[in-house]
Structure 1
Amino acid sequence: MTALRMAAVAAEFGRDLEGAFATVERLIEEARADGVRLLALPEACLGGYLLSLDGAEPDEGPPALAPDGPEIRRLAALAGEMTVVAGYCEAGTDGRRYNSAVCVTGGDVLGNHRKVHQPLGEDASYASGDRFHAFDTPVGRIGMMICYDKAFPESARALALDGAEIGVCVSAWPGARTQAAADLAKDRWKRRFDLFDRARALENQIVWLSANQTGTFGSLRFVGSAKVVDPGGDILADTGVPAGMAVAELDVAQALRTARRSMGHLRDRRQDAYTPAAAATV
């Protein structure tokens, strides 16, 4: 049995790309010193997220980066032997901008995901992705998603059906826009964030890493709460609202076998009982 040491980050990032890289380098070195082999950084950590989700604040958005450009190569070089997932604004070859996540290791890009589900006014700034897929990495088969993607069970289920052993969700998930709690730890949107993390891990019986932004940016106040969740939906490590790194060690293959031994949620599905519309989405 081989245990994998993994970590999810809660940290604050803004528009300053050099400042972002300084933070990313510090976090990678901190994780490396702790023996971490898989590290999840937040959505939009390279260049920051949006100032608002309703267009209330003028916002040119983050810098758009090519997935094969110098910034992503720089990230891959920093990752070294570690497998690192990070969010960025992707400059598509079609001339559109995408809210994306990239997975890198050893100087190489292993996978890229474009956010599919867009909340509120995000579609004014980004085009939407159109698929979910898993891919092989040195630490196992991974599937990525971004923030609001995890509110849709079909997203994680599609990744699990594609063989994902580990789901990595990177977020810039804010607190509630109305009736906001003074204490973010008691915020209802934080509660939803946490519930989605546990549910997506449990229903698909996969390991789950959830990274998120912290602090404030424009009108948004992020809930942090980076965590590692096991295939039974139990939280192994959690930063809470403050910035930090949730670190856990787990034999992923053994954890999946144990979780699926008696009740295998993927194995026991009854596709014949689902409506045609639902069956077509999973």
Structure 2
Amino acid sequence: MSIRISAVAAEYGRGLRRSLDQVIGQIDEAKRTGVDLLVLPEACLGGYLADLSDADSTLVHDDPGPPELSVAGPELAELAAAAGELVVCLGFCEIADGRRFNSAVCFSGEGVHGVYRKVHQPLAEDSYYSAGSGFAAFDTPVGRLGMLICYDKAFPEAARALALDGAQVIVCMSAWPTSRTGAAANLADDRWTKRFNLFDAARALENQVVLASANQAGRFGTLRFVANAKVVGPGGDVLASTGVDAGAATVDVDVPSELAQARRFMCHLADRRPDTYYPPHSMLSVS
């Protein structure tokens, strides 16, 4: 049975109420077009950090930083009520036990299905957020999912951990910018755009899963984002993409069938040899 997956590339500002209204509009549009799983970018509720090169970037740019929200707060409850049967994944700044986390949440009208706190933190992000501590898949009305945030996709172990935990679909929410040095005038030519797309295809292919990748678009603070929201099949083939533009990459995927076909003869997960990986083993010397 197919599900309709939509991964979004869009620009989000700092204002929380405006972001909530924008997300509700995206939820309404997804429901109108029959989407079952909607994936929105990292930090879409009130925006991302204004700069990644300075530990005190919020002070340098006179920026209050992303709004701090609780998973149990009224904002996510409002979005869940709007979602109804639609399953939504999005990123936000979570406050818990006095610490801030760059988090992702998956919810529907039934409530919260899963929460993930970003583990891998690039550049100066760790001066603002605390790091998460692990990866776990979870069950939803559209199947078993796992979540990653942005830089996590650069680490094969992160997606592999989710696949080994039974994730059939991995959703990755990003605020992925252009290169910090020598950025290309044309977004499609930027080397960080190429890396973003390469990581998406590789993580889907090596785990033989469906990957839905959302990303911010436009500009925020000193950052320019590469967009390129997409849905990738378990063979690493891009099924739908926004390219460098804002928009939604939407496609119908029979996830169990696609995974079964991809894993029919060569199953990367089943063919693993974990006993040979860690700790490192000596190479056989040949004289």
TM-score w.r.t. length of structure 2: 0.94
Give the 3-state SS of the residue equivalent to 2:113 in structure 1: strand
Bigger Rg, which one: 2
How much does 1:107 deviate? 4.3
- Per-residue deviation, residues 158-202 of structure 1 (Å, max 9, x unmatched): 000000000000000000010000011111000000000000000
| RMSD of equivalent CA atoms | 1.1
Pairing of 1:81-96 with structure 2 (within 5 A): 81-92=85-96, 94-96=97-99
One of 213, 216, 224 as aligned partner of 1:213: 216
Deviations 1:37-58 (A, max 9, x none): 0000000000100000012533
CA contact (8 A) 1:98 1:127 kept: yes
1:220 Cα deviation after fit? 0.1
Which of 67, 74, 77 is the matching residue for 2:71?
Answer: 67
1:46 aligns with 2:45: yes
Structure 1 pair 277–169 and aligned structure 2 pair: CA distance change class (3 A):
farther
Aligned partners of 1:250, 1:159: CA distance in 2, in Å? 19
The answer to whether the 8 Å contact 1:5/1:250 transfers is yes
1:77-156 correspondence runs (5 A): 77-92=81-96, 94-156=97-159
Residue 238 of structure 1, aligned match among 241, 245, 252: 241
CA distance in 2, matches of 1:277, 1:180: 38
Cα distance, 1:73 vs structure 2:
0.7
With over 3 angstroms needed to count, the CA separation of the structure-2 counterparts of 1:263 and 1:63, relative to structure 1, is same
Does structure 1 conserve the Cα–Cα contact (< 8 Å) formed by 2:177 and 2:225?
A: yes
Q: Could you give the per-residue CA deviations for residues 131-155 of structure 1, whole angstroms, max 9, x where no partner exists? A: 0000000000000010001100000
Counterpart residue number, 2:33: 34
**Contact kept in structure 2, 1:80 and 1:106, CA below 8 Å:** yes
Who is 2:175 aligned against? 172
Q: Secondary structure of the residue that 1:191 maps to in structure 2? A: helix
CA deviations on 1:3-31 (whole Å, 9 max, x unpaired) are: 11110000000111111112111111111
SS in 2 for 1:276: coil
CA shift for structure 1 position 224: 0.3
CA displacement at 1:275 relative to structure 2:
2.5
- Structure 2 residue 226 is matched with structure 1 residue 223: yes
**Count, aligned residues:** 276
Normalised by the length of structure 1, the TM-score is: 0.96
What are the superposed Cα offsets for residues 101-153 of structure 1, whole Å, 9 maximum, x if unpaired? 00001140110000000000000110000100000000000000100011000
1:47/1:63 contact within 8 Å kept: yes
TM-fit CA distance, 1:236: 0.3
Distance 1:33 1:73 in 2: 21
Moved more, 44-53 or 100-109: 100-109
Secondary structure of the residue aligned to 2:123 is coil
Contact kept? 1:73, 1:107, Cα under 8 Å: no
Q: Which runs of 5+ in 2 are unaligned?
A: 282-287
Counterpart of 1:170 in 2: which secondary structure?
A: strand
Runs (4 or more) in structure 1 with deviation over 6 Å come to none
- Counterpart position of 2:8: 9
Alpha carbons 1:89, 1:100 under 8 Å: kept: yes
Aligned to 1:181: 184
Alpha-carbon contact 1:79-1:107 (below 8 Å) kept = no
* Residue matched to 1:247: 250
Q: Percent sequence identity over matched residues?
A: 61
Measure, in 2, the Cα distance between the counterparts of 1:25 and 1:275.
46
Bigger CA drift: 226-235 or 53-62?
Answer: 53-62
Q: CA deviation at 1:60?
A: 2.8
